[in-house]
Structures are given as structure tokens and as C-alpha cells.
């Protein structure tokens, strides 16, 4: 047996007016404000992740963790500047020798779990 209801979906609650988002928000202000706050927080966290801090210039104080995140062009620029200021490494004056020494030192620092505190100069010398 099929039964039907005399109340239509547009007359839910007996008000006689159709439900709208505006009426729903007006009827449930605390819940709507909480939902709005959650949405705003989500958008803010997304924007921080997208527009947040970028890797800056590589300096003598740059840590191995930062070195690993630096672009190739920044690493190469630092290696050239290191050769100009400090000379070569083990008789080699190419920037690639500097980059290799830093990468090797940073891999060792990572293995010893000190990559966040070891600078690239310490990685080159092995003193960390």
C-alpha cells in the first residue's frame, strides 16, 4: 500500500516558505559561523603553504636542510662565490667540487641527524 504525505518538501517545518541557504544560516547562526571559521582557516592554511617562505640566498650559514631545498642556480652561485672567497677544495677550484663537498658533508650530517644545525661550511670541512 502506497501512502503519500500532504506536506511538500518546500513546506518543511510548516512555515509555508521554501528552504534557502540564507534562511538556513539565519536559523543556525552559531553553526554557520563555525563553518565559516573552518573554511577561512582552511583557505588561510592553503595560502600559507602556497605563498609561504621560499628558499633565500645561500650563505655560509645556510644549513644542510636549507641547502637541500635550494635551487640548483642558488647552489651554483654559492659555489662560485665560495671559490672566489675561500679558494678551492683540495686543490680543485671548480664550483662542482664545492657542491660535491657540500653534498657529501650534508649526507654525512644527515646520517648523524645533525643536518638542521650543520652549516654548509661545516659540511665542507667535516667539522660538525
pLDDT at 12 over 70: no
80 and 30 belong to one structural domain: no
Task: Look at residue 44 and tell me if it is in a domain.
Answer: yes
71 and 119 belong to one structural domain: yes
121 and 96 belong to one structural domain: yes
Q: Please state the domain count of the chain.
A: 2
73 and 32 belong to one structural domain: no
For the segment 43-76, what is each residue's pLDDT rounded down to a tens digit?
999 888 777 666 568 888 899 989 988 889 999 9
87 and 38 belong to one structural domain: no
Task: Look at residue 107 and tell me if it is in a domain.
Answer: yes
- What do you get for the CA distance between the two ends of the chain, in Å? 83
81 and 46 belong to one structural domain: no
> What rounded mean pLDDT belongs to the chain?
84
Per residue, what are the HEC states of 36-76? Answer: HHHHHHHHHHHHHHHHCCCCCCCCCCCEHHHHHHCCHHHHH
Residues spanned by the domain of 37? 17-51
Task: Look at residue 108 and tell me if it is in a domain.
Answer: yes
Amino acid at each position: 500500500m502506497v501512502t503519500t504525505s500532504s506536506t511538500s518538501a518546500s513546506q518543511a517545518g510548516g512555515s509555508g516558505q521554501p528552504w534557502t541557504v540564507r534562511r538556513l544560516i539565519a536559523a543556525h547562526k552559531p553553526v554557520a559561523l563555525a563553518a565559516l571559521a573552518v573554511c577561512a582557516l582552511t583557505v588561510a592554511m592553503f595560502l600559507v603553504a602556497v605563498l609561504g617562505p621560499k628558499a633565500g640566498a645561500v650563505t655560509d650559514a645556510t644549513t644542510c636542510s636549507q641547502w637541500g631545498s635550494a635551487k640548483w642556480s642558488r647552489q651554483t652561485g654559492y659555489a662560485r662565490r665560495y671559490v672566489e672567497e675561500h679558494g678551492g677544495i683540495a686543490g680543485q677550484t671548480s664550483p662542482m667540487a664545492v657542491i660535491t663537498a657540500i653534498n657529501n658533508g650534508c649526507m654525512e650530517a644527515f646520517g648523524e641527524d645533525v643536518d638542521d644545525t650543520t652549516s654548509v661550511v661545516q659540511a665542507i670541512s667535516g667539522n660538525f
